[in-house]
Structures are given as structure tokens and as C-alpha cells.
Structure 1
Amino acid sequence: MSGWDAYITNLINTGFVTQAMITGHDGNTWAKSSDFNPSQNEIKLLIAWLQKPTNEKTTDGIKLCNKTYMPIKYSNKTGIFKCNDQSSFTAKLTNQTCVIGVANETIVDQRCNEEVRKICAYLKKANF
């Protein structure tokens, strides 16, 4: 995973992402923050939702690290999700990856989303 760790470091170093992860579409981890440990099942369900959201305003929410987040925005295989504690995360699919960026309650979720989108744009250009 060492080559992918630089993407995680770059996301965290922006100051707008507190935890991050890159996975394959199969849910296998390519790189992640050391303190970020969602289950593989949570990741697989998130990826399935991003590939085909059955309902953008699902009442069940999306679980990540055993916390429930509600989708607040979805477009072009990108979702922004918010928890009742005001933390949020953005998840975006590229051709081969899912990039997840988490923001704590002090960070505006749109800024986290922008940083995840930048990494994804780069990955898409590199055919990932």
C-alpha cells in the first residue's frame, strides 16, 4: 500500500480532511489513515450505494465506523453524508477506486468534498 499512502497524506495535509481511505470497487483497502477503520462490509455497501443510489434520501442512512450518516447531496457517483454529531464524509468513485474523506464537526463538508474531488480527478487522469 505504500505508494497509495501519499494520497492519504496529501488529503490530511490539506487541513480539510481528518481521515481518509482509498479502496478498490471490491471494497479492499489500498490505503487509509491509521485511525480510520470502517468495516469492509460498510465500504462495500457504500460503494454499492454510490454505483446505484436506490434513494438519495434513504431513511436508514449509510454506516461508516458504526456511525450513521445521512446523504445530503449526490451527483455523478459522489456522495456527501452528514452525521447528527455534525461530522461528515465525502465518497467518490473513479474508474477503479472509491476515495473517502472524513471531516470533523469544525470543517465545512464542502471543503472536504473539494479535496476528495481533486484527488479523484488526478486518479481518473492516471486511469484509476
Structure 2
Amino acid sequence: MSWQSYVDDQLLATKVVTKAVIAGHDGSIWATSEGFKVTTEDIKKILANFENRDLLAQNGITVAETRYIYLSSTDRVLRARKGNSGVHVMKTEQAVIICQYEEPVVPEQCAAVTEKLGEYLITVGY
């Protein structure tokens, strides 16, 4: 399955993810939804600060020119929100999945879809 198929069929097709990107830990973008202007710099900065909760709380995270307020994180998952939308980020062994959602979707719905794909990628070595 191509990386674009994961974005289209496993994330966007659920209708709880508005936009999504899958990228490598080096910031290279493997697949993205149309119009989601996530940059390599966005990805690198998120990964570099993934475990720095103090910095994330202070500065939030920027994805596709939108600054989100940091909510919480674990060693693999990061959550952030802005108004009626938010992002759910999951880091796997070699990739990072960033999914955006908008109302009426609730954060837990986006989280479930994002983490399900992330857990699958971990089991197959990604």
C-alpha cells in the first residue's frame, strides 16, 4: 500500500480527519492530503520539541501556518487545539502522523483513528 493510500483510505475516508500528513523523522513528507501545507520545518520542529512539554506549553505547535495551543503529550502522542479544530500527532519508529480535525468531530474520534494507524505502522516496523 502506498503512503498516499494510508492518508486517503485510513485517515481521510473515516470523515473524522479533515487533513493529514505522514512524514519521516527527517521531516521528509511521504504523503499528504490536498491543500494541507505542512512544511518540512513544521515537522522537524514538532519532532525536535516532542518531549519538551515546557516549551510546547509556552509556544504551542505550528502546523501548516496555524499555531495550536499545546494540550498534552506522551512519548508517542501530542495533542493541540485552536478554537473549533485541533491536531493529533503520533510518532512511530520511523514516521510521524499529523491529523487535523474540525467540529463537529471531537478530539477523541481523531485520536482513535490516528493512533490506530500509528500502532499498525509500529507493528510493521515503521
- TM over 0.5, yes or no? yes
- 1:113 and 2:111 are equivalent in the alignment: yes
Deviations 1:70-124 (A, max 9, x none): 11121132111101x3210101100000011110132101110110000011100
How far did 1:54 drift?
4.2
- TM-score normalised by the chain length of structure 2: 0.92
2:12 aligned partner: 12
Partners of 2:118 and 2:60 lie apart in 1 by 24
Counterpart residue type for residue 98 of structure 1: V
Partner of 1:100: 98
Structure 1: 4+ residue segments shifted above 6 A: none
Q: Is the 8 A contact 1:91 1:99 kept in 2?
A: yes
- The aligned length equals 125
Alignment partner, residue 80 of structure 2? 81
User: Can you list the C-alpha shifts for 1:60-79, whole angstroms capped at 9, x where unaligned?
Assistant: 21111111101112113211
- State the Cα RMSD in Å: 1.5
- Give % identity: 26
Distance (whole Å) between structure 1 residues aligned to residue 58 and residue 122 of structure 2? 32
Q: Is the 8 A contact 2:53 2:73 kept in 1?
A: no
Gaps of 5+ in 1: none
SS of residue paired to 2:41: helix
TM-score normalised by length of structure 1: 0.91
